Amino acid sequence: MFTDMVGYTALGQRNESLSLALVEEQRKVVRAVLSRHNGREVKTIGDAFLVEFPNAVDAVRCSYDIQRAIREFNVSLDAEKRIHLRIGVHLGEVEESQNDISGDAVNVASRIESLAEDGGVCITKQVYDHVYNKLDIQLSSIGSRMLKNVSSPVELYKMEMPWNEAAPHRATAPRERLAVLPFVSMSPDPNDEFFADGLTEELIGKISHIRGLEVIARTSVMSFKKKDKMVSEIAKQLSVGTVVEGSVRKAGNKIRVTVQVIDANTEGHLFSSNYDSDLDDIFSVQSDIAEKVAGSIPGIVLHPRAPAQTEKETQDTVAYTQFLQASQLVNESEEGPLRHALALFEQAVMRDREFARAYAGLAWCYNRLGNNGYMQWQEAIDKAKTAVMRALEIDPQLAEAHCRLAEIMFMADESLEARRTELKRALELNPNLAEAASAEAQEAGVAGDIKGMVEATERAYQLDPLSPSTVRLLGISYLYAGRYEDALNHWKRTMHLNRYGTYRVMFDYYASRREYEEAEKALKELERIGPTLEFTYLNRGLFAALTGDTRTAYEMIGRLDSTHSPGWARSSSAGYIYLALGNMDKFFEYMFRAADDHTLAVSALRYNPMLEKARSDSRFPEIFKRANITY
């Protein structure tokens, strides 16, 4: 890659000191970008850079980001103080000697740089062939050109910058639809990385309360942590029109936060700022950032109390730090991190008895421990409910606490109407709470409202499009609603986000239609991904029962029974195999037990096509009666 400043020689003749200053500024900007893209600075030649990369994709991404960074640098400057850069990128063999490189590839790169536009990037056909369809960057052919000291014409392409008026039309997402990308940790202590993740989640929460904004949930944005992707790529994947990104440095009690807001459709710079303060001031910093983010988006009007200030924030920085660390660990699925999260939440509420969000986090942790079989089911329910009721006693306006209460009531088979009331209240307080929308979808399925289940799941998917659980739930909703084409299209589009969960529900679809060849393909994928997982045993048993392999079916029943522990669906799994074997008495025995244990998969009983035979049995309504659900 060659870079060159446009008009540098002429500027030097007019104002030498300014030209030297701009070269120095240009080097700072370029070097900061090179470090993120594996670029090796071979040398500088006056105002130019010669850079080597391990692959073409890194080189093209880097060239794009350099021009974007230069544009952001220029945005607030007078015309004469702006940097104008051209970049050329070529792919070929080089010879290295004494930390320098030479050869035809270097010569071509230096020649094509001069053919790039001011603020543009020019690449050769060799580069184009390696990056085509791998990057969300528009590339247009500018034909073949003869270059000095190059014997044959070279086919060239230019990069279409999205902020230029001449760029091809791109589909635009609403600017009110926003993603807060994972903040980069710049702290000297790597153990403080949780603080950057916590700040990301805190800002998502703050901005979510601002009326008029639709904010992508934590699960989806955290999937981009430490991923070298351009803003335009991420924005396209999340279908957002605005992106917030930044960094945080924590050293002792001091913090430095940088933040910038980018119009994803043009990559224009809407707002940027730095904050240097004590950790004690973190809440005011977060509130100010949230307000500035909203204020930078055209059409968003800030109302009183926006962002919401209803949460009972702790003033104890140690408790707050424990809360942030626990909030990251509670998203893990292994017992060790969940137990560590539990201890941290407990320490936080011991330090501050009025820390509402820490009590809500404690409830969520007990919920997770119970769901994963790491704590006795009823004990998890009791402890979670005690914690969440304390959170609501401190702060009745805490949306997350209302959502947690509904989930706990679901675990305990408490009143369906009471659960739905709590979820409704959670979404009134925070319409961007994706987990509440998902829970609302599941409650709609339990209530027999399949249309409501689909609509709520689609809302959850809009807010959390990369969440594996939400992706799976939407596919299930389409299947249960009989929208088979929508289900198939969804599975094809999102397979990479939750392969195991997708193949589980695809198996049900194909097996219920007696398309056993396709069902077996799905089963083999389950066995490849998770050969010893419970649902692999379940589907292997179902397939064996449906295809006449009685021995294997009973073997899988034995495995499921021997590995049973209190938790979702596990007490009734083997019952489904009995149904496929035609043993209705054993099926109902397992379903009645699940109803008594509060582990009944109600939506599946209502709508899963695999269970159609059971619905005609006179005993079927009794299952729901035992679970206090109207059928």
C-beta separation of 139 from 89 below 8 A: no
C-beta separation of 85 from 70 below 8 A: yes
C-beta separation of 364 from 385 below 8 A: no
Q: Which H or E element spans position 357?
A: helix 356-371
C-beta separation of 100 from 65 below 8 A: no
C-beta separation of 356 from 398 below 8 A: yes
pLDDT at 302: 63
pLDDT at 225: 87
The DSSP code for 427 is: H
Q: Can you tell me the distance from the alpha carbon of 411 to that of 568, in angstroms, rounded to the nearest whole number?
A: 9
Per-residue pLDDT tens for 8-28?
877 888 888 888 999 999 999
Q: Can you tell me the distance from the alpha carbon of 587 to that of 398, in angstroms, rounded to the nearest whole number?
A: 42
Phi, psi of 97 (to 5 degrees): -155, 120
In the numeric block, the tokens 């590339």 are attached to: 139
For 530-619, where are the alpha helices, taking DSSP H only?
534-546, 550-562, 573-581, 584-597, 602-607
Quote the tokens at residue 205: 């929460």
Residue type for position 214: E
Quote the tokens at residue 228: 């070298």
Query: Mind listing the domains of the chain with CATH numbers?
Result: 2-160 (3.30.70.1230), 177-309 (3.40.50.10610), 432-497 (1.25.40.10), 504-631 (1.25.40)
pLDDT at 565: 57
C-beta separation of 49 from 3 below 8 A: yes
Residue type for position 449: D
Within 8 A by CB and 6+ apart from 363, the residues are 384, 385, 387, 388, 391, 401, 404, 405, 408
- Count Cα atoms within 13 angstroms, Cβ side, for 54: 4
Q: Is 215 exposed, middle or buried (CB count within 10 Å of its CB: 0-12, 13-18, 19+)?
A: buried
DSSP string, 32-98: HHHTTTT-EEEEEETTEEEEE-SSHHHHHHHHHHHHHHHHHHHTTS-GGG---EEEEE-----EEET
pLDDT at 571: 64
Nearest to 502 by CA among 531, 537, 478: 478
This prediction has a pTM of 0.72
pLDDT at 97: 81
Per-residue pLDDT tens for 475-489?
999 999 999 999 999
Sign of CA dihedral 428, 433, 438, 443: negative
pLDDT at 165: 52
In the numeric block, the tokens 């209460």 are attached to: 405
Nearest to 60 by CA among 103, 31, 16, 90: 90
- State which residues of the chain have pLDDT below 70: 165-171, 228, 301-312, 564-571
The DSSP code for 157 is: E
Nearest to 631 by CA among 606, 595, 607: 606
Longest Cα–Cα distance of the chain, Å, equals 95
What is the overall mean pLDDT for the chain? Answer: 88
Quote the tokens at residue 598: 């509060």
Nearest to 128 by CA among 57, 185, 67, 183: 57
C-beta separation of 218 from 200 below 8 A: yes
Quote the tokens at residue 457: 């799941």
Nearest to 511 by CA among 479, 546, 467, 462: 546
Quote the tokens at residue 289: 């950032």
CA distance to 348, 355, 556, per residue, from 345 (Å): 5, 10, 39
**How many residues are recorded in the chain?**
631
Q: Can you tell me the distance from the alpha carbon of 535 to that of 576, in angstroms, rounded to the nearest whole number?
A: 11
pLDDT at 117: 87
C-beta separation of 206 from 290 below 8 A: yes
Quote the tokens at residue 565: 């522990």
